[in-house]
Amino acid sequence: MGLILLVAALAHIGAPTTVNGQVIGKPDDYKVVGPERVCLREASFDLNKNEASYLVYTGIHSQTIQIVGANGTIKLSEGEAWAMPKRPKSLFFKNATMEVYEVEDSDTEFRYIVYARNRYSDGKFVPMIWIDGTSLAEDKSDLDIIRRLSIGDLPIKSCKIKFNYGWAPLMGDEPTVWRHK
């Protein structure tokens, strides 16, 4: 059953895009197979064995990666300008660097929002990462996913791949991606 979900999820991996839907490569150009650490600009996620991550989108204010594994998908969207969710459901997890809340949107989509400090938050916790996907069980077993997320701007040597977003990479002043061999 898990293999079927993996194959089905892989079929939906599209080409990564940027602003205005511009395609910036093929899915495999930004693929990482676990066990490895994938870094976003201000967070990282540890892939398990037999999981793969793909870049979905990188733009001015956000970036999204999708993790595909035997139990489905996990989508992480990191941004610096998320609107406050209208109805955070309840606190799900908390540690020194983040607070994770359950959120059910008006269209009844379940997901988590991670509040954390970022380079623009003046030390305050702000909405930073949305987590959703078919791998979420909407119960305590999701802690296995949440605990693989870390907040902080890690050096590239700590990551197999590190993604960047904002005006600088879009204008070519900084790379969109760094790779550590």
β partners of residue 77: 64, 130
Please give the model's pTM, rounded to 2 decimal places: 0.88
Instruction: State pLDDT tens for residues 76-130.
Output: 999 877 777 665 678 999 999 999 998 876 665 778 999 998 777 788 888 899 9
pLDDT band of residue 169 (cuts 50, 70, 90) is: confident
The pLDDT, as a whole number, for residue 86 is 64
B/e letters for 127-146, b = 16+ CB within 10 Å, e = fewer, are bbbbbbbebbeeeeebeebb
pLDDT band of residue 13 (cuts 50, 70, 90) is: confident
> Structural domain boundaries of the chain?
2-179
The pLDDT, as a whole number, for residue 136 is 92
The pLDDT, as a whole number, for residue 10 is 54
